[in-house]
């Protein structure tokens, strides 16, 4: 078993992070008119808060995850269509043409070849106007502390040091947008929209994370 599979296969995050992601739903709100009856697949849903929010909004939801605990927990409670499957290695295990496939905080666990496989496979599984939305961490940075009353000093960003926020056991890697876009284009997709988010993660605004969403359509 490799490092990613070992890390995720038996990890139980318990009851934490059980809220839908505001940034994701803001973006989806600008991309699709309604969730009603849309066929939506999430890759790497963990506790499933985003998947269940899509369901609450009227979508037909599907999910895959590498973690058997995540799959069985959501299956027991919520009657959603989920399968244990490893994205990037296994083809998407649903015979469905999706309006939307999205994945948050998961794609960076895939190796380069697995990301290529994912784009090729996902592009076959979306319909004519279908969308693929991926979110990943672009950078974690450490900046000099400011007095809380001061206006934000943008120079702090150009002097920032790269410093991961996550614990070292977590096999996260930082991805390059350019490489992802090239891989997606090779798989017959074109970039349709992007979104960036810069947010502090500590109590003193010294540690920031730059998250990025990329949205693709069929060429």
Ligand X SMILES: C[S@@+](CC[C@H](N)C(=O)[O-])C[C@H]1O[C@@H](n2cnc3c(N)ncnc32)[C@H](O)[C@@H]1O
Give the interface with ligand X as residue ranges (CB under 6 A). 4, 8, 17, 21, 43-46, 64-67, 70, 86-88, 104-106, 109-110
Question: Chain-centre distance of CA 73, in angstroms?
Answer: 20
Beta-carbon neighbour count of residue 136 at 10 Å?
Answer: 24
The nearest distance, CB 9 to ligand X, in angstroms, is 8
**What is the number of the residue whose Cβ is closest to ligand X?**
44
Phi, psi (degrees; rounded to nearest 5) at 176? -95, 130
- CB nearer to ligand X: give 41 or 110: 110
Residue 92, SS3 per DSSP: coil
Minimum gap (Å) between residue 179 Cβ and ligand X? 18
Measure Cα distances from 101 to 22, 91, 118, 124, 149 in Å: 17, 14, 11, 11, 42
CB of 138 to ligand X, least distance (A): 16
Comparison of 51 and 160: residue with beta carbon closer to ligand X: 51
Angle at 102 between CA 157 and CA 84, to 5 degrees: 120
Residue 8 or 98: which CB sits closer to ligand X? 8
Ranges of H-type helices in 57-148: 68-78, 112-124
| Residue with Cβ nearer ligand X (117 or 143) | 117
Q: Quote the least distance from Cβ 197 to ligand X, whole Å.
A: 13
* Residue 16 CB partners (closer than 8 Å, separation 6+): 47
- Minimum CB separation of residue 189 from ligand X in Å reads 19
Angle at 96 between CA 91 and CA 100, to 5 degrees: 90
Which C-beta is closer to ligand X: that of 87 or that of 143? 87
């Amino acid at each position: 078993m490799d490092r990613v599979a070992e890390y995720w296969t038996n990890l139980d995050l318990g009851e934490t992070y059980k809220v839908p992601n505001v940034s994701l739903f803001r973006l989806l709100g600008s991309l699709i008119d309604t969730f009603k009856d849309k066929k939506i697949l999430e890759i790497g849903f963990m506790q499933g808060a985003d998947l269940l929010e899509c369901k609450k909004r009227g979508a037909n939801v599907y999910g895959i995850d590498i973690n058997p605990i995540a799959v069985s927990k959501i299956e027991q409670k919520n009657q959603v269509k989920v399968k244990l499957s490893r994205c990037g290695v296994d083809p998407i295990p649903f015979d469905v043409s999706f309006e939307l496939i999205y994945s948050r905080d998961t794609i960076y666990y895939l190796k380069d070849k697995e990301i290529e496989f994912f784009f090729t496979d996902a592009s076959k599984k979306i319909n004519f106007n279908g969308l693929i939305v991926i979110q990943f961490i672009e950078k974690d940075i450490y900046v000099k502390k400011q007095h809380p009353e001061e206006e934000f000093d943008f120079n702090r960003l150009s002097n920032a040091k790269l410093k991961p926020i996550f614990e070292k056991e977590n096999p996260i890697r930082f991805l390059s947008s350019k490489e992802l876009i090239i891989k997606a284009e090779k798989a017959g997709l074109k970039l349709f929209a992007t979104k960036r988010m810069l947010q502090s993660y500590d109590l003193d605004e010294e540690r920031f994370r730059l998250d990025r969403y990329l949205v693709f359509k069929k060429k």
